[in-house]
A and B are shown apart, each in its own frame.
Chain A
Amino acid sequence: MSMQIEDPRIVEFDVQTDEMLVNMGPQHPSTHGVLRLLLRTDGEIVHECTPHIGYLHRCAEKIGENLATPQWIPYTDRMDYLAAMNMNLGFALTVEKMIGMEVNEKAKHLRVFISELGRIASHLVGMGAYGLDLGTFSPFLYAFREREIILDFFEEVCGARLTCSYLTIGGATHDLPEEIEIPDGLSALLLMDKGQRAPFFDVVEMFLSWLEDRIKEYHTLLTRNAIFIKRTAGIGVLSREMAISYGCTGPVLRGSGVDYDLRRDGEAVYTRMYEGYDFEIPVAEFAEAPREVVLGDNWCRFYTRMMEVVQAIRLVRQSVPKYLAAEGSHREAFKFNTKLPKDEVYLETEAPRGQMGFYVVGNGAAEPLRVRAKSSCFCNLSITDKLCEGVPLADVPSVVGSLDIVMGEIDR
């Protein structure tokens, strides 16, 4: 005779399992680098999650105390290596603020052009890798197909694809090229013959109009995909108050419904760059969100990034005529041995992953007394333990992936 159970759910709760400590990482594909999460689990449920960082620590700040400021620019590349251009920009602006230099119009529009392309490239990885975390491989391949073309542009512009060191103090190292060979990836996508040459901005426009149509496809692949919604909506909910208290910035902050973007709300040194540009700042919650979505969950953070790509495309397009109309040089002279004043400045810029801050203390020498890089991912990651409390083990990659972290920037 079998026993009758009135409510089958009771059985689940009656099962006692031992607590287990699980090390996720440092070499785990879904931790986006060398991040180690120490999880205390009871069955499938994570009771405690402790992030351990520092596996990529190089103490770039100490190195910076022995280098002149332009020499430290390559080190900023290697922090957020997925958005090197934006990191260069942040540090260059900080030093310019310190010595009271203002770059000319041409360099400003060039910087908007390059840094918004960098934002697109970075968010494409964020999107593709997030899909990979949740078990779908194709968005990752599509994202890298597109990103590859942006990296080809960067290569034409400065010779490097990943660690560009392109935007530097006083402007940029080179001017933009007039004519380039259409990248193979793009000519294949547009069914053109390989190796044709065209004016640079025409090629960029060809790419942007191609990318614009692909975004709809990404929405079908991920944003409105029923499995994706199940894995992201209502999971990892970050409240507005907590996001502010824990110093979250960028898409993580805006995904929690806080309307704050340094391109509009930042210091004049930075916002001057975006004067005369027309763009919107996507902030959760979104009217078009599926009904399962809660303000501040993984889906909101992901979607904020996707919408930022659309805005970045707009900004790149607007910057082209402005750049072409502006006169002057792309670079103002800044000598390596320029002595820094006895002063200290702090400046934050809106990098793709959040507000990247640089603090420079000068003391009359070319080498600063102290350089500090305040990492946006560092702050965004610090809430993982709160977000992962009580979620099933399988949701941990979903939460960490939605924060879109880069370990190079966290460990510096």
Chain B
Amino acid sequence: MDIQEIHSLLLETFGASAVGETPVDATDPWIQVSPDSIVEVGTFLRDDERLRFDHLNDLCGCDYLEPNEKKAAKFGHDPHVEVVYQLSSIELKHRLKLKVILPRWKNDEEGQLPEIPSVSGVWGIADWHEREAYDLVGIHFQDHPNLRRILCPEDWEAHALRKDYDFPLEYHGVRGR
């Protein structure tokens, strides 16, 4: 199935409140999904006979922000955080990319991580990928079985792949720069 067919199938099943637009001119088109319905959409994509997206290739977060004020005008994106899901079907050999757009901070309070339901119940590997996205990009996955940092030490502060991340000057007596 191509992305337009999948998009209309999802729109038909979940309605326009859950499934957003799909761009026409991107090399890898994607379907935008609302944060609240990602688990239902994911389960549907995995189980439906026509789709069978049983393989979650990648899940990653991406921070859109230009911290330099002079460059911010040309940046071209509103500040936000994205969670990107790359799916494929082993059986039907097609691919799909989903995107969920989140605010950079929950309720615009700095330090409050944005929240999204975890899909670790749908694809097993999401468990580790979500831990990594939490660790590096700072996204809180609700109902995750074990949301701990995975690559950085547990007492590490802040999230390194945020664009406004400050490199620490020292960590347990080790000089940072």
Give chain A's interface residues, CB within 8 Å of chain B: 53-54, 57, 59, 61-62, 97-98, 100, 242, 244-247, 258, 260, 265, 267, 342-346, 348, 355, 357, 359, 361, 363-364, 369-370, 372, 374, 378-379, 382-383, 411-412
**Do A57 and B62 touch (CB < 8 A)?**
no
CA–CA, A344 to B84, complex, Å?
11
User: Across the interface, which residues of A come within 8 angstroms of B176, CB to CB?
Assistant: none
User: Across the interface, which residues of B come within 8 angstroms of A246, CB to CB?
Assistant: 124-125
**Do B57 and A374 touch (CB < 8 A)?**
yes
Q: Which of B55, B58, B77, B124 contacts A374 (CB 8 A)?
A: B58
Closest to A348 in B: B57
**Do A345 and B27 touch (CB < 8 A)?**
yes
Assess whether B100 is interfacial by the CB under 8 Å rule: no
The stretch of B2-10, B90-98, B108-116 that contacts the partner chain: B90-98
> A53-B151, A370-B62 known; A343 and B26 CB under 8 Å?
yes
Assess whether B173 is interfacial by the CB under 8 Å rule: no
CA–CA, A383 to B125, complex, Å?
9
Can you list 28 contacts pairing A with B, beta carbon distance less than 8 Å? A53-B150, A54-B150, A54-B152, A57-B152, A59-B161, A62-B161, A245-B123, A245-B124, A247-B55, A247-B124, A345-B27, A345-B28, A346-B57, A346-B86, A355-B57, A357-B57, A359-B58, A361-B62, A363-B75, A363-B77, A364-B76, A370-B62, A370-B63, A370-B161, A379-B125, A382-B125, A382-B127, A411-B151
User: Across the interface, which residues of A come within 8 angstroms of B54, CB to CB?
Assistant: 244-245
Interface positions of B from 30 to 80, Cβ below 8 Å from A:
54-58, 60, 62-64, 74-77
Assess whether B160 is interfacial by the CB under 8 Å rule: yes
Give chain B's interface residues, CB within 8 Å of chain A: 26-28, 54-58, 60, 62-64, 74-77, 84, 86, 90, 93, 95, 97, 123-125, 127-128, 132, 136, 149-153, 160-161, 165
Q: Which of B75, B93, B161 contacts A61 (CB 8 A)?
A: B161
Closest to A99 in B: B27
CA–CA, A229 to B76, complex, Å?
59
**Do B57 and A363 touch (CB < 8 A)?**
no
Q: Which of A267, A343, A378 contacts B128 (CB 8 A)?
A: A378
> A54-B153, A374-B57, A374-B58 known; A244 and B90 CB under 8 Å?
yes
| B146 CB to nearest chain A CB (Å) | 9
User: Across the interface, which residues of A come within 8 angstroms of B125, CB to CB?
Assistant: 245-247, 379, 382
| B20 CB to nearest chain A CB (Å) | 16
User: Across the interface, which residues of B come within 8 angstroms of A379, CB to CB?
Assistant: 125, 128
**Do B60 and A244 touch (CB < 8 A)?**
no
CA–CA, A267 to B96, complex, Å?
12
CA–CA, A412 to B161, complex, Å?
13
CA–CA, A379 to B123, complex, Å?
12
| A210 CB to nearest chain B CB (Å) | 37
Closest to B162 in A: A62
| B25 CB to nearest chain A CB (Å) | 9
User: Across the interface, which residues of B come within 8 angstroms of A98, CB to CB?
Assistant: 27
| A146 CB to nearest chain B CB (Å) | 32
**Do B151 and A260 touch (CB < 8 A)?**
no
| B158 CB to nearest chain A CB (Å) | 12
CA–CA, A85 to B124, complex, Å?
30
> A62-B160, A246-B124, A348-B57 known; A267 and B153 CB under 8 Å?
no
**Do B64 and A369 touch (CB < 8 A)?**
yes
User: Across the interface, which residues of B come within 8 angstroms of A258, CB to CB?
Assistant: 90
CA–CA, A372 to B160, complex, Å?
13
Known A267-B95, A357-B58, A372-B60; 13 more pairs at CB < 8 Å: A54-B151, A97-B27, A100-B27, A244-B54, A246-B125, A247-B123, A343-B26, A346-B58, A346-B97, A363-B76, A370-B63, A374-B60, A378-B128
Closest A-B pairs by Cβ, 4 of them: A247-B125, A54-B151, A245-B124, A374-B58
| B172 CB to nearest chain A CB (Å) | 15
**Do B55 and A244 touch (CB < 8 A)?**
yes
| B40 CB to nearest chain A CB (Å) | 18
CA–CA, A215 to B97, complex, Å?
41
CA–CA, A412 to B136, complex, Å?
12
**Do A343 and B27 touch (CB < 8 A)?**
yes
**Do B26 and A344 touch (CB < 8 A)?**
yes
**Do A359 and B90 touch (CB < 8 A)?**
no
| A250 CB to nearest chain B CB (Å) | 13
User: Across the interface, which residues of B come within 8 angstroms of A412, CB to CB?
Assistant: 151
Closest to A379 in B: B125
Q: Which of A342, A357, A372, A383 contacts B76 (CB 8 A)?
A: A342
User: Across the interface, which residues of A come within 8 angstroms of B123, CB to CB?
Assistant: 245, 247
User: Across the interface, which residues of A come within 8 angstroms of B74, CB to CB?
Assistant: 364
| B67 CB to nearest chain A CB (Å) | 12
**Do B124 and A346 touch (CB < 8 A)?**
no
**Do A372 and B150 touch (CB < 8 A)?**
no
